[in-house]
């Protein structure tokens, strides 16, 4: 089994859509606090205080519903390409996931796979120590293969598998070996990479050998220099103009069903909660 160099994620800049959502929710929060502060009755003002968190959260859910609906429409309106015939532009492909070289071993469980992601964090607190993946992988079928750079992709992450190592417990040798390997390959990785004396969670997500994946993202021209020659090729990655980049182990019809259901739930639930919250504040302000 060939050794694969694990990749560490650096600081990832959020997309313009996420920034817009953050600004809108912040403005809603400020407006809600001002409105609640204008309620004259002190008891009613205190009882309405919970809405300072509820209304912005409801608006966020409502907006996320529209974001899911936009992603749903993007997939519906994008024809599925064969991996061997992908052209530059926004695309979607479906095929078997495969590594660029030999098959890999997941970092903590040792499962044979085509690709893996990993995350190391504290069980209590907000410490996130390591976060990365095994690098680019291929999607292939009988027509050929196309390379995928998964950095910045939204994954169907229902397959996260966790290994909880409690404080003072001995760290399993596979986990310790992987962390030390990361330290050796990346001099700028955390110096406390073995994390002794802390309650830690080691998580991995992997695509099994022979498993098929659905990928939608931006295909761009690239050049392979591994052979010492400029060999043109196409690679699917997160686009600059269209930031929607999604990788799932489900088929397209299942992805669309889940996105549609989530969008309907978020839009209806978030919208209703927002209306009820605003109505209550306006009632207490004696506007209604």
Total of domains in the chain: 2
Q: What is the pLDDT of residues 134-153, one digit of tens each?
A: 989 999 999 999 999 998 88
Residue 238 DSSP SS3: coil
Does 19 map to a domain? yes
Count H helices and E strands in the chain, helices first: 5, 14
Same domain, 120 and 16: no
211 and 94 in a single domain? The answer is: yes
* 126 and 237 inside one domain: yes
Query: What tens digit of pLDDT does each residue of 189-223 get?
Result: 554 445 555 788 889 999 998 899 999 999 998 77
Question: Do 54 and 196 lie in a common domain?
Answer: no
Please give the residue range of the domain that contains residue 34.
Answer: 3-74+262-285
What is the Cα–Cα distance from 32 to 38, expressed in whole angstroms? 10
The verdict on 65 and 17 lying in the same domain is yes
pLDDT at 13: 44
Same domain, 119 and 242: yes
Average pLDDT over residues 27-49: 89
Give the separation between CA 103 and CA 235, rounded to whole angstroms.
Answer: 20
36 part of a folded domain: yes
Taking the model in full, what pTM does it have?
0.81
Say what the pLDDT of residue 12 is: 46
Q: Is residue 253 part of a domain?
A: no
Residue 271 lies in a domain: yes
């Amino acid at each position: 089994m060939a050794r694969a160099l694990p990749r560490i994620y650096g600081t990832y800049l959020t997309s313009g859509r996420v920034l817009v959502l953050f600004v809108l929710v912040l403005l809603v929060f400020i407006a809600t606090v001002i409105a609640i502060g204008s309620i004259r009755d002190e008891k009613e003002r205190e009882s309405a205080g919970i809405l300072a968190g509820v209304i912005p959260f409801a608006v966020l859910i409502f907006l996320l519903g529209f974001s899911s609906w936009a992603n749903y429409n993007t997939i519906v309106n994008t024809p599925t390409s064969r991996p061997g015939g992908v052209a530059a532009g926004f695309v979607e492909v479906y095929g078997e996931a495969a590594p660029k070289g030999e098959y890999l071993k997941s970092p903590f469980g040792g499962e044979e796979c085509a690709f893996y992601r990993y995350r190391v964090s504290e069980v209590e607190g907000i410490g996130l120590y390591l976060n990365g993946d095994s690098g680019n992988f291929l999607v292939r079928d009988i027509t050929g293969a196309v390379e995928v750079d998964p950095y910045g992709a939204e994954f169907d992450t229902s397959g996260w598998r966790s290994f909880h190592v409690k404080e003072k417990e001995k760290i399993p040798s596979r986990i310790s070996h992987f962390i030390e390997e990361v330290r050796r390959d990346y001099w700028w990785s955390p110096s406390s990479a073995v994390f002794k004396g802390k309650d830690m969670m080691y998580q991995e997500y992997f695509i099994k050998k022979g498993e098929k994946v659905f990928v939608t993202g931006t295909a761009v021209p690239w050049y392979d220099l591994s052979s010492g020659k400029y060999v043109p090729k196409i690679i699917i990655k997160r686009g600059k103009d269209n930031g929607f980049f999604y990788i799932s182990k489900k088929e397209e019809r299942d992805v669309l069903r889940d996105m549609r259901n989530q969008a309907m739930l978020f839009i209806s639930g978030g919208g209703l909660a927002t209306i009820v919250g605003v109505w209550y504040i306006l009632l207490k302000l004696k506007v209604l």
